Amino acid sequence: MSRRNQRGSRGFARTDRLGSSLREIIGEELRRIDDDYVAYVTVTDVEVDNELTRARVYFSTLNLEEEDLEGLYTHMGRLRKAIARQGNMRRVPDLEFLIDPGLRSGTRVGEILQTMEAEGDRAYAPSPEALPTEDSEEE
């Protein structure tokens, strides 16, 4: 078995380790930047491709707006310098910023539940007759 296959069988692919370290580096550098556009940005995950040329940086913010992307792209040079300095890499991958899709779907589910509550939809709530009473508990 080749050395390359042995490393992959451990479950710790180089791209996973690199993604984890990039997430920490980018998160640290974003905390140092004094800019309102990136003040509430949290890096949730970084996926690096097998060629180590591109990294998809997933992030979350309070309002999940596209303007947050502009703020991140504005500071991309600074983020790449931090990666080059701290990452000990020959070549810094190109960064692509994406809003974490899991957060958007979670936000959407929350909105649907709030709408159902506001409309008074009780389709999933038990009827008052189905709830136990004090009399039924004593028996």
Evaluate whether residue 130 is within a structural domain.
no
Question: What's the pLDDT at 125?
Answer: 56
Evaluate whether residue 135 is within a structural domain.
no
Evaluate whether residue 113 is within a structural domain.
yes
Evaluate whether residue 47 is within a structural domain.
yes
The string of pLDDT tens digits covering residues 93-106 is: 999 998 888 776 77
Evaluate whether residue 126 is within a structural domain.
no
Residues whose CB falls within 8 Å of the CB of residue 8, separated by 6 or more in sequence, listed in order:
none
Question: What's the pLDDT at 102?
Answer: 77
Number of domains forming the structure of the chain:
1
Residue 95, phi then psi, degrees to nearest 5: -100, 135
* Beta carbons within 10 angstroms of residue 132's beta carbon: 7
The whole domain housing 81 covers 3-121
Evaluate whether residue 55 is within a structural domain.
yes
Domain of 50: which CATH number?
3.30.300.20
Question: What's the pLDDT at 21?
Answer: 92
* Stated pTM of the model: 0.66
